[in-house]
Amino acid sequence: MIKNINFVSKFKKANFFSIVFFILSIIFISFKGLNYGIDFKGGTLIELRTEKTVEAYSIRNSLSTMDLGDINVKKFGKEGDFLVKVEQKNTTNNNLIPEIKEKLTNNLNSAVDFRRVENVGPKVSSELLESSVIAISLALAAMLFYIWVRFEWQFSVGSIIALFHDVVITLGIFSVLSLEINLSIIAAVLTIVGYSMNDTVVIYDRIRENLFKYTKISISDISNLSINETLSRTIITSATTLLALVSIYILGGEILRGFSFAMILGVIIGTYSSIFVASPILKFFKVSYKTLEKEEEKIVP
């Protein structure tokens, strides 16, 4: 199967869309903000199961008298399963959980089973946020360095811009949909970073190879050729990864749902960005056979 799709002709349109989405994402992240989970905001999360059928609002009502700050109740999976999030103003109360349990059991007239309780103090949550930001920044820096060592700086800038594009748009979609950002989403974002980089490297590798092979052809045509040559690999790998991820999304249970959703978004955006973001940047920098040669000379005088 010989593919010869003219990607380069679509670069302009794609770049326009990318920039629009990128800016929209930044607007949403800065004005609507991200829906931080208790990992980063502090507070209490309770996953509970009631014996009798109960409505979410009756849980909210019975807790609202306890002066707990913001209360968020939503259905979670099966009938009778709820996820309760409490802002918890005074963090020193070590007896909070049993008090909530007693209150609910009395008010709802039903046995209540606390299946999962997470309680993160304000100090710990700000530390977790800090270390997550450090982790993502370090991962980006380490990869930038690796690409810079393996390729030339133009490639490294291109791949990092592609990565930023992926991470920002994924977070933007999370902001638009008000999906919760917690520790496992950070893990997902870092994996997206790895995956997107992986994809970009494969195409860059081929571009570099072709630049040496066809010294007379312009970077646009080289990009186009390289993208086409690696296209079936790009599609097959995205397909197998998505198969695995969709399987987690549908069957992996509620706790992994946000994680796998972020990953699915990331894989799709990452695949798109290696073709439509990372490659045009090389064109922008007017990378040619000569750029590579100059660098070679520098390294091997």
Nearer to another protein, 53 or 95 (CB): 95
Question: What's the number of CA atoms in the CB half-sphere (13 Å) around residue 11?
Answer: 19
Contact flag: residue 87 with another protein (CB under 8 A)? no
Report in angstroms how near the CB of residue 163 gets to another protein at its nearest: 10
Out of 79, 92, 298, 299, the residue judged to bind another protein by CB under 8 A: 92
Nearer to another protein, 10 or 116 (CB): 116
b (16+ CB within 10 A) / e for 190-218 = bbbbebbbebbbbbbebbbebbeeeeeee
Q: Which of residues 36-75 bind another protein (CB under 8 A)?
A: 47
Contact flag: residue 114 with another protein (CB under 8 A)? yes
Nearer to another protein, 11 or 292 (CB): 292
Nearer to another protein, 52 or 286 (CB): 52
Contact flag: residue 268 with another protein (CB under 8 A)? no
CA–CA separation, 143 vs 149, rounded Å? 10
Which window, 22-30, 50-58, 219-227, 248-256, contacts another protein (CB under 8 A)?
248-256
Report in angstroms how near the CB of residue 1 gets to another protein at its nearest: 9
CA–CA separation, 221 vs 206, rounded Å? 13
Contact flag: residue 184 with another protein (CB under 8 A)? yes
Nearer to another protein, 87 or 229 (CB): 229
Contact flag: residue 273 with another protein (CB under 8 A)? no
Place of tokens 């790998």: 237
Nearer to another protein, 117 or 217 (CB): 117
Which window, 23-31, 122-130, 169-177, 219-227, contacts another protein (CB under 8 A)?
122-130
Report in angstroms how near the CB of residue 240 gets to another protein at its nearest: 5
Contact flag: residue 131 with another protein (CB under 8 A)? yes
Out of 240, 286, 294, 296, the residue judged to bind another protein by CB under 8 A: 240
Contact flag: residue 89 with another protein (CB under 8 A)? no
CA–CA separation, 44 vs 120, rounded Å? 6
Contact flag: residue 29 with another protein (CB under 8 A)? no
Q: Which of residues 145-164 bind another protein (CB under 8 A)?
A: 146-147, 150
Contact flag: residue 236 with another protein (CB under 8 A)? yes
What sign results for the dihedral spanned by CA atoms 241, 25, 136, 83?
negative
CA–CA separation, 176 vs 37, rounded Å? 16
Pairing of strands 112-120, 43-50: antiparallel
